[in-house]
Amino acid sequence: MLWSVPLLPLLCALLVYVYGRWCRRAVLILSAVGGVIVALVLAAVAIMNDWGGSYRWSEALVLTLKLSTPGMLFTLAVPLIALPIVVYSGYHELPRNTGREGVGGNGARLVALIVAFIGAMQLLVLAGDLLTLLIAWELVGACSWALISHHWGERDIPRDAATAFLVTRLGDLGLYIAAAAVFAGTGSFGYTALGVLDGGLLQVAAAGIILAAAAKSAQIPFSFWLFAAMSGPVSVSALLHAATMVAAGIYLLARLQPELAAVVWFMPLTVTIGLATALAGGVVATFQGHAKKLLAASTSAQYGLMWVAIGAGFPGVALLHFIAHACLKAGMFLSAGLAERHAGSYRLADMRLGRRMPRVAVITLVSSLALAGIFPLGAAWSKEQVVSAASHQSLWLALLVAVAGCLSALYATRFQLLAYGWHERDGLLGSRISSVPELGALAALTLATLGLSLWWSPSAHQAVIEPLGLSLPSGHLWLLALSLGLAVLGIVAGASMVRGERSTIPHGWQVHAGEWFGLPKLAQGAAATTLTFGMSLARFDDHVVDAGLRGTARCARWLARWNASRAEWLAEGVPGGLSRLTKWGGQWARQAQSGQMHHYYSGIVVGFGLIVVILLLGAYL
């Protein structure tokens, strides 16, 4: 029965794709929303009735679905967060119907893929074994490839989509290896089998899982693929960052943390990767001049904080921060999409739309403050929980996390002030009025962000924590004060950074820092090297490997020619010579037949003499 939760959205996606092109926009969006709502209701029913499911491929390969704590949280959160995004994408990306004809193939494909994406994500979070997980994991990657390349007609976009797909698939390889290691050790693929795995194989599995999770949730050194993914439509970015693709990485770590904690280096490595990404991502976002890329870098950084929480032994904290982040980041992306329609581009330097879009500016301010970690918003509480979790490992770690929080306050301020500042620019290119459903979607997400403020009340967060069986770290009051103070400091720094006219546009080394310190260049270099290597191997194949064959053929031809000339002479010569010899012998013999008696007599005498000589030789030898 649990299968219905992922399969229903997938089926709905298929129907939308096939029939959607002839529907009007509202009908299309309504059916997509219906599919997502049914998925949500089914998920809730599944949790209440504790559904499960398995599907047998063969003796060794069994696909299983099973509910787990992170799984339950995600299976509800994913469609909930996706819902406003689906509405927004319909009204933002699809053309307004004028006549009777439908939205066309492109629009239907976009909506269908978004719904399919949600279905694949549901499969991912409900998977009960590594094989099912791997299937969903790759499907999510394929969906994101198709969504990013939505505007396939433009030159660079298909290339960016391929980059995003290949980088995340590099991570998928880790999951292949992890699944193989678990099978090699236990003969099955179940998550529970990880618990009974010993020594070396468990380490291999842990390494593979970390690789897969790091690539998906855009941690260093894979973080740059999110920049390439920014070529997709803005609603796709919102979905990718808040609910699906990137979220898959953190889900996996939270799900398997109990099993993998037995590996000595697993927790320290998770903390290191997360912290490095949180700090570096903060710097990148600080010096990034492209609205979506700023948000993308911020996503990497925020997921880095979740990694730290998991590495510190508190997956529950990571899950809560995930929810808070999902609401605020989805809202900010949708808002950036609206801003782009007004400004004509995503260049922050061209925006300052506060006067033009006061309502959006105020709504976005809530999300920006949440990202900055300002009391009393829910994201601030979950971030402080990450700081407390880190303090359980070491005080220095907690301080570094607080510094990462300070950076997020800085770039959140920068985003808000540059995008929605009051000093209006001249010559804005776009001039589209935001529609009510778009604003409604944005408002819904912002309301959720506001609602999460309840987490600051102990009774409210206990209500979330206890039924899920999660634990929270105990914190120090002074650490909380210090961390909140750092967030305020970040806001001040961000505001002063924006005030200087020159510094709004990054220059010099800042550009370098804003582009992940050259990571994309490095990856491009690696890709180009592989391609060059492939091409030289192709030449090698044509000229060297095939040369053996051509050489054999040449050799055979030469042999044939040699045979035709020399050997033929020999072959002709020997029998020819023999026949000439015979002929000559015949002529000679005929000459002997002269008809003159004295010739015959002398011949007889010679012959008689020869016989005598032979007899004598026979007698005496």
Partner 1 sequence: MILSTALALPLLGAIALVGTPHISALQARRVAAGFASLSLLALVVAWMGFDPAGSLFQHVDEVNWVPSLGMAYRVGVDGIALVVATMSALLFVAAILYPFDAGDQPRQYYAWLLFLQTMSLGVFLALDLLLFYVFFDLTLVGMFFLIGRWGHGEAQTAALKFFLYTFAGSLLLLLGIIGLYLSLDTPTFDMRVLIEQQPLAGTGLYAGLIFLGLMLGLAIKTPLVPLHTWLPPAHVDAPGPASAILAGVLLKMGTYGMIRLPFAMMHVTFAHYALPIAIIALVAILYGALVALGQKNLKRRIAYTSINHMGYTVLGIAVAAALVSDNQAARQLALTGATVEMVAHGLITGALFLISGSFWQRTGEYDLDHYGGLAHQAPLLTGFTVLAAFASLGMPGLAGFVAEFQVFTGTFAVYPWLAVLGIIGILITAALFLDMLRRLFFGRLPSHLGEFPELGRAEWGVLAVLALGIVVIGVSPRFLLTLIEASSSVLVGGR
As given in the structure block, the two tokens for residue 609 are 């003499």
Decide whether 47 or 180 has the Cβ nearer to partner 1.
Answer: 180
Decide whether 230 or 310 has the Cβ nearer to partner 1.
Answer: 230
**CB-based contacts of 94, cutoff 8 Å, min separation 6:** 25, 28, 29, 103, 107, 110, 111
Site for partner 1 in 203-232 (CB under 8 A): 204
Site for partner 1 in 127-186 (CB under 8 A): 131, 134-136, 138-139, 142, 145, 149, 152-155, 157-159, 161-162, 165-166, 169-170, 173, 176-177, 179-181, 183-184
Least distance between partner 1 and beta carbon 177 (Å): 6
Decide whether 62 or 261 has the Cβ nearer to partner 1.
Answer: 62
- Binder among 196, 538, 606, 611 for partner 1 (CB under 8 A): 538
Assign 435 to helix, strand or coil. coil
As given in the structure block, the two tokens for residue 137 are 């994991």
Q: Does 478 contact partner 1 by CB under 8 A?
A: no
Half-sphere exposure (CA, 13 Å, Cβ side) for 495?
Answer: 10
Decide whether 95 or 458 has the Cβ nearer to partner 1.
Answer: 95
Decide whether 138 or 350 has the Cβ nearer to partner 1.
Answer: 138
- Binder among 196, 526, 545, 560 for partner 1 (CB under 8 A): 545
- Given the structure tokens 């870098």, which residue do they identify? 297
Least distance between partner 1 and beta carbon 548 (Å): 8
Which residue pairs from 133-140 have beta carbons closer than 8 angstroms and sit at least 24 positions apart in sequence? 133/175, 133/252, 134/172, 134/175, 134/176, 134/179, 135/63, 136/6, 137/172, 137/175, 137/212, 137/216, 137/248, 138/169, 138/172, 140/244, 140/245, 140/248
Decide whether 228 or 284 has the Cβ nearer to partner 1.
Answer: 228
86 within 8 A of 486, measured Cβ to Cβ: no
Decide whether 8 or 320 has the Cβ nearer to partner 1.
Answer: 8
**CB-based contacts of 197, cutoff 8 Å, min separation 6:** 181, 182, 185, 186, 205
Decide whether 359 or 554 has the Cβ nearer to partner 1.
Answer: 554
Q: Does 395 contact partner 1 by CB under 8 A?
A: no
Least distance between partner 1 and beta carbon 562 (Å): 20
As given in the structure block, the two tokens for residue 302 are 């925020």
Least distance between partner 1 and beta carbon 85 (Å): 24
Decide whether 77 or 126 has the Cβ nearer to partner 1.
Answer: 126
Decide whether 24 or 159 has the Cβ nearer to partner 1.
Answer: 159
Helix axes 245-260, 315-343, angle to 10 degrees: 170
Least distance between partner 1 and beta carbon 251 (Å): 18
The DSSP letter of residue 425 is P
Q: Which residues on neighbouring strands pair with residue 56, listed in sequence order?
A: 62
Least distance between partner 1 and beta carbon 532 (Å): 8
Could you check whether the bond before residue 84 is cis, i.e. omega within 30 degrees of 0? no
Distance of alpha carbon 585 from the chain centroid:
92
Site for partner 1 in 500-529 (CB under 8 A): 527
Decide whether 180 or 464 has the Cβ nearer to partner 1.
Answer: 180
Nearest residue to 354 (alpha-carbon basis) of 421, 303, 404, 409: 421
Q: Does 549 contact partner 1 by CB under 8 A?
A: yes
Decide whether 528 or 613 has the Cβ nearer to partner 1.
Answer: 528
Least distance between partner 1 and beta carbon 255 (Å): 19
Stretch 59-98: interaction string toward partner 1, x if CB under 8 A: xxx-------------------------------------
Nearest residue to 286 (alpha-carbon basis) of 58, 472, 515: 515
Report the b/e string of 523-555 with b at 16+ CB within 10 A: beeeeeeeeeeeeeeeeeeeeeeeeeeeeeeee
Q: Which residues on neighbouring strands pair with residue 55, listed in sequence order?
A: 63
Least distance between partner 1 and beta carbon 307 (Å): 24
368 within 8 A of 383, measured Cβ to Cβ: no
CA 373 to CA 409: how far, in whole Å? 7
Least distance between partner 1 and beta carbon 88 (Å): 25
CA 241 to CA 249: how far, in whole Å? 11
- Binder among 457, 530, 579, 594 for partner 1 (CB under 8 A): 530
Least distance between partner 1 and beta carbon 158 (Å): 4
Helix axes 291-311, 234-242, angle to 10 degrees: 10
Q: Does 57 contact partner 1 by CB under 8 A?
A: yes
Total binding residues toward partner 1, as defined by CB under 8 A: 54
- Binder among 500, 508, 534, 618 for partner 1 (CB under 8 A): 534
List of residues contacting partner 1 (CB under 8 A): 56-61, 105, 131, 134-136, 138-139, 142, 145, 149, 152-155, 157-159, 161-162, 165-166, 169-170, 173, 176-177, 179-181, 183-184, 187, 204, 527, 530-531, 533-539, 541, 545-546, 548-549
